[in-house]
Structure 1
Amino acid sequence: MQRRAFINRMTVALGGTMLGSSALAKTGYPEKPIRIIVPTSPGGATDAVARLFAEQVGKKLGNSIVVENIPGAATLLGVRQAASAKPDGYTLSIMANSFTAIPHVDKNARYKTSDFKGVSYLARSKMFLVVPAQSPYRTLKDLIDAASKAPGKLSYATVGVGTSSHVPLEMLSQEAKIELMPIPYKGITNAIPDVIAGRIDMMMGTGASTNALIESGKLRALAVANDQRLSFLPNVPTFAELGFKDVMYELYLGLMAPARTPEPILQALSQAFESVKADRALTERLALLDQELPDMHSSEQFNKFLQQDEQRMRTLLSK
C-alpha cells in the first residue's frame, strides 16, 4: 500500500512538473522571492513544515521562498496580514484547522475563508486524548462518568477556541453530553507540564508533542480521534470504537493564497508544491515532525476539502 501510494504521488508529480513548467513559462513567474507567512512562532510543527517545503519548492521554481513568522492573537495577526496581501503570488501563507473555525466563533476575526484560495494540502498529523499518568481516569468511560457527575469541573488545556486543542473536545462534549472546563494557554507546550503534574485533567496530543511522554510513563493516552488505531499506539482505541463516532479530527496544514491571485499562478504554485511530495527524503523529514502526506493531489481537491471543513466547523461551533 505504501509503495502504491508513493508511485501514485510520483505519477502526479511528474505530470505536475511538466504542467508547472509550461504554466511558469507563460506567466514569467516568479521574478522575485516568494514570502510564506506562518501565523505561529518559530520552532513549532507549522513553522518546520513551512521551511521544509519552502526549501524544496524554492529549488524547483529557481527562486527563494522566505518564511516569515507573524504570531499573535491566536494566529489572527498573521492570517489578517495574509488576507490583505497583494494577490500576485508573492505572499502566501500556511494555515491549520483553526483557519476555518475561528470566523465562526470570533466576530472580530476580520477575515473570511473566502478571502483565500487553497494552493496545496501539505501535511497532516493524528490527534489523541491524553491524561496525566497518575490520573484516576484509566479509560475514556472513567473520564466521561466523572464529567457527567461534576459538570464543568474537569479541565482541559487549550490555546484558543476553534483550534485543534479545543475542537475535538468540543466534539466529545456534545456527543457525550458532558461539560468540560477549558483552561487557556499561549501554546500547547506551555500546558504540558501542568497536565503531567495533574493540575489540568486532560489535553489533545500529537505524536510530536506527547508520544515521548507517553513512552516515558508521564502521560497516558485514552482515545484516538482517527478512523483507525495508530501504529505507535496500537493498544489505544479510537473514539468511534468507544461509541463516539463524531469525534474524528486530524491536524492539517495547507498552503493558501489571496483569493484574487491569477489562476495561472495558482496552478503553477500548486503543481510545484505537489511535485516535491514525490521526494522520499521529504517524506522522511515530515515523519520526524510527526507529519504525513495527505491523499490529495490537486488544489481543486484541497479547496473542496476546505469548504467541507468550514461547513463542519460552522455546524459544530454554532451549537
Structure 2
Amino acid sequence: MHANRRQFVLGSLGTALLAATARSRASAYPERPITFICPWPAGGTADITMRALCLAAAKPLGQTLVVENKAGASGMLGLKAMATAKPDGYTIGQIPISVTRFAQLGTVQIDPLKDLSFIARTSGQTFGVAVRSDSPWQTLKEFVAAAKAAPGRLTYGSAGIGGATHVGMEEFALAAGIQLNHVPYKGGAPALQDLLGGQIDALADSSSWAPHVKSGKLRLLATWGEQRTHDFPEVPTLREQGFDVVVDAPNGIGAPKGLDAAVARRLREAFKAAAASPEFIAACDRIDAPPMYLDGPEYEKYVAAVYRKETQLIERLKLKELMAKG
C-alpha cells in the first residue's frame, strides 16, 4: 500500500475510533455524579426549587446531582463558574434570566446567546414587596406617600445590584415617581434576615417572605406577577395598584457551550421529567412559584427575546449609571 494511502486509512480509522469512543461515552453518560451549581445562597427560594428539581432529575439519570451553592454578584458568580466549566455534562447549573441584562451591562463576561447550552426553563418566581407588620404602612399607597414625603430615606433590600428584584423595584419607583434607598445583599435570604431584624424598611424578593407573611411577622404590600398569587389572593399586583410593572424572572437549567448532542438530549429528557415530578411541583407550591416549563430550544428562543427587551430597559432605567453609583 502506498505510504500516503496508508496514512490516510490509518488517520480515517483513528478519527472513526475517536468518534465511536465519544459516542459510546455519550451513551454511557452519566457515569458519575453531576455537579449542579446554584448561584444563590442555601435556603433561598431558588435553592429550594433547584434542590427538589435535582433530586427528581437524579432518578432518570441514575446518578446523584450534587448541589453546590456559589453565591455572589447577583447570581453571576455561580453562572460564570458553570459557563466556563468543561462541557462534558458533569457541571450544569441554574441560569438566572438576569444574565441577559448583566451581559449587556458588562458586569459578567458571558454572552448568554453564545456561551451556554440550554436544557430547560423550569419555573417562574413570585416576587413582592414586604414590610414588617409593625411598620406604619398598611398599603402600598401609604408606602409610596411616605417615600414621596422623604425622598431617598426609605430603604429596601434586594438580592443584589442589577438583579430582578433591584431592577423591578427601580421600575416600580420610576412608575410611582419616588426615590428609594437600595441596600444590595448577596441573595434574598440575608436581606430577609435584615428586614426581620429591623435594619431595612422593606424587602423586594421572591417569596422568601411567604412563611413570615403567613405567621404575621411581615406584611405583603404587592406582588409583581400578571395575576394575584395562589397563596396570597387578597394582595393586589403592582399593575392593579396603578403601576405597569410585571416581573416573573423564570429560572432555567443550562450547561457550558459545546455539550455533546447525545448528552444534551439525555439532560433535556431528565429535566423534562423532573419539572413534571410531584417533588418539584410541591417545592414550587411551597413558595408559590408558577411552573413555566420550556424545552431547551424554546427556552433558548425565550432568552433571546428577553435579551432584546433588556436592551430597552437598560436605557429607560439608566441602569449603567445606577450600577456605576453602586
What TM bracket, shorter-length normalisation? Answer: 0.7 to 0.9
2:142 counterpart residue number: 142
**Given that residues 222 and 236 in structure 1 are in contact (C-alpha distance below 8 angstroms), is that contact kept between their aligned partners in structure 2?**
yes
Distance 1:27 1:204, change over 3 A: same
Query: Which of the residues 283, 288, 313 maps onto 2:310?
Result: 313
- Aligned-pair distance for 1:259? 2.3
* TM-score between the two structures when normalised by the length of structure 1: 0.81
**Counterpart for residue 284 of structure 1:** 282
Counterpart residue type for residue 186 of structure 2: K
Amino acid of the structure 2 residue aligned with 1:78: G
Residue-by-residue CA offset, 1:162-214 (whole Å, 9 max, x unaligned): 2233121011022223221101233333233442455422112443x212222
1:236-279: CA deviations, max 9, x gaps?
Answer: 1111111112x111243210112222334323321221023333
> Is 1:55 paired with 2:48?
no
Task: Name the counterpart of 2:248.
Answer: 250
Cα distance in structure 2, aligned partners of 1:193 and 1:302:
33
Partners of 1:244 and 1:155 in 2: CA distance: 20
Structure 1: distance between partners of 2:86 and 2:134: 52
Supply the AA of the counterpart residue of 2:76.
L
Aligned equivalent of 2:236: 237
Q: In 2, distance between residues paired with 1:302 and 1:314?
A: 19
Secondary structure of 2:117's aligned partner:
strand
The answer on whether the counterparts of 1:155 and 1:183 sit within 8 Å (CA) in structure 2 is: yes
* Corresponding residue SS for 1:204: strand
d(CA) in 2 for partners of 1:190, 1:197? 10
Structure showing greater radius of gyration is 2
Match of 2:216? 217
- What is the CA–CA distance in structure 1 between the aligned matches of 2:107 and 2:230, rounded to whole Å? 41
Secondary structure in 2 matching 1:210 = helix
Aligned position for 1:262: 260
- Mapping 1:99-138, distance limit 5 Å: 99-105=99-105, 107-114=106-113, 115-138=115-138
Q: Please state if 1:45 is matched with 2:41.
A: no
Percentage of matched positions with identical amino acids: 30
Aligned to 2:176: 176
Q: Residues 147-226 of structure 1 correspond to what in structure 2 (within 5 A)?
A: 147-196=147-196, 198-207=198-207, 209-226=208-225
- Classify 1:188/1:278 alpha carbon distance in 2 versus 1 (closer, same or farther; 3 Å): closer
- Whether contact under 8 Å (2:75, 2:96) holds in the other structure is no
Gaps of 5+ in 1: 1-23
Residues of 2 paired with 1:193 and 1:270: CA distance? 36
Q: How many Å apart are 1:30 and its aligned residue?
A: 0.8
Secondary structure, aligned partner of 1:68? strand
RMSD: 2.5
Distance, in Å, in 2 between the alignment partners of 1:302 and 1:204 is 26
* Cα distance, 1:159–1:276 mapped onto 2, change above 3 Å: closer
1:11-41 CA distance string (max 9 Å, x none): xxxxxxxxxxxxx989414142222222233
Partner of 1:35: 35
Give the Cα–Cα distance (whole angstroms) in 1 for the partners of residues 198 and 52 of structure 2: 36
Aligned pair count?
Answer: 292
Tell me the secondary structure at the aligned position of residue 270 of structure 1. helix
Separation in 1 of the partners of 2:246 and 2:72? 28
Contact in 1 for aligned 2:27/2:263 (Cα 8 Å): no
Q: Is the 8 A contact 1:165 1:203 kept in 2?
A: no
SS at match of 2:226: coil
Determine the structure 2 residue equivalent to 1:8.
Answer: none
Q: 1:134 touches 1:198 (CA, 8 Å); kept in 2?
A: no
Give 1:108 deviation, angstroms: 4.1
**Aligned pair in 2 of structure 1 residues 292, 228: CA closer, same or farther (>3 Å)?**
closer
Report the equivalent of 1:3: none
